[in-house]
Chains A and B, each alone.
Chain A
Amino acid sequence: MLTEYAFWLLSFIAVFSGIAVIISKNPVYSVLYLIMTFFSIAGHYFLMNAQFLAAVHIIVYAGAIMVLFLYVIMMLNLNNIETEKRHNIIKLLAVSAAGLLLLVLSGAVQKADEIAVSGKVGAAGMVENLGIALYRNYLLPFELASVLFLAAMVGAVYLSKKNLNETQSA
């Protein structure tokens, strides 16, 4: 019974703060609402017995990615209020496109079998099982991910070099 209440509460928080991310005028508020969404999604992971994933989600998203966002917003001094608005036709197109996609997705979800999620007790989300799967079956993708990170790191450092134009023209 508690699980159902927790599900609806967390879902409400996630959707509410997802809407707030979009309609906030100030980018800093958007970041804070997005962190709230991430915490409620981490709560959903807890409900689904994926404890390790929930911890990693909080550490990676709330701890690293959103701090990076906040850092960039404050460094670029973007926390002023956005004044210019979209044209009404673009707003209408955005609403209708997203609404149509939601209609199609919910039509597809209606056909799903009614398999209870909360009743099952699984040990799939424990560190031990995840570790075995990650280092045994998925060793090659794991190693390739490190190459991807190296490439991303080099790319980010190269792109954010101060005098990119001067070094290219020299």
Chain B
Amino acid sequence: MQVLPNITIEHYLGLSAVLFCLGLFGMMFRKNAIIIFMCVELMLNAVNLALVAFSKIHGDTDGQIFVFFIMVVAAAEVAVGLAILMMLYRNMHTTDTDQLNSLKG
């Protein structure tokens, strides 16, 4: 007897949408710049999940290769972003995005 329905592409896309919206919500909700970075990572992972699901149903590797390149860009982004954050903290002594409101000074 089948208790739970079969897992379709709809389920994976729904989970991906929920995780993406959680990341977006966190980006707007939190003030700490490090948490905002983590929410960006959450959104990138939601997209990765959808790409892998598409790759699975089509049975080819292109979606997974795309996920690899998203991981590459995410790693580069985190390295540069955290370096910027450290420089900001050294000069302004805060990572609160409400106080980081000027480009110079």
- A-to-B contact residues, CB < 8 Å: 1, 3-5, 7-8, 11, 14-15, 18-19, 21-22, 27, 30-31, 34, 37-38, 41, 44-45, 48-50, 53, 56-57, 60-61, 64-65, 68-69, 72-73, 75-76, 78, 82, 84, 86, 90-91, 93-95, 97-99, 101-102, 105-106, 109-110, 112-120, 122, 124-125, 129-130, 133-134, 137-138, 141, 145, 148-149, 151-153, 155-157, 159-160, 164-165
Of the candidates A44, A64, A95, A155, the one whose C-beta lies within 8 Å of that of B25 is A95
What is the chain A residue whose CB lies nearest that of B18?
Answer: A15
- For B60, the chain A residues whose CB sits under 8 A away are 124
- B-to-A contact residues, CB < 8 Å: 2-15, 17-26, 28-32, 34-35, 37-39, 41-42, 45, 48-49, 52-53, 55-57, 59-62, 64-65, 67-69, 71-80, 82-87, 89, 91, 95-96, 98
- For A78, the chain B residues whose CB sits under 8 A away are 32, 34, 95
Q: Are B64 and A102 touching (Cβ within 8 A)?
A: no
Of the candidates A50, A69, A72, A156, the one whose C-beta lies within 8 Å of that of B56 is A50
Q: Are B4 and A4 touching (Cβ within 8 A)?
A: yes
Distance to closest chain B CB from A141 (angstroms): 6
Q: Are B6 and A119 touching (Cβ within 8 A)?
A: yes
Q: Are B80 and A159 touching (Cβ within 8 A)?
A: yes
- For B12, the chain A residues whose CB sits under 8 A away are 44, 48, 117
Q: Are A68 and B21 touching (Cβ within 8 A)?
A: no
| Interface class of chain A by DSSP | helix
Q: Are A117 and B76 touching (Cβ within 8 A)?
A: no
Q: How far is the CA of A110 from the CA of B3 in the complex (A)?
A: 22
| Interface class of chain B by DSSP | helix
Q: How far is the CA of A61 from the CA of B14 in the complex (A)?
A: 23
Given contacts A27-B34, A50-B56, A115-B57, contact A94 B28 (CB under 8 A): yes
- Count how many pairs of residues, one from A and one from B, have CB atoms less than 8 Å apart in the complex: 236
What is the chain B residue whose CB lies nearest that of A12?
Answer: B15
Q: Are A37 and B79 touching (Cβ within 8 A)?
A: no
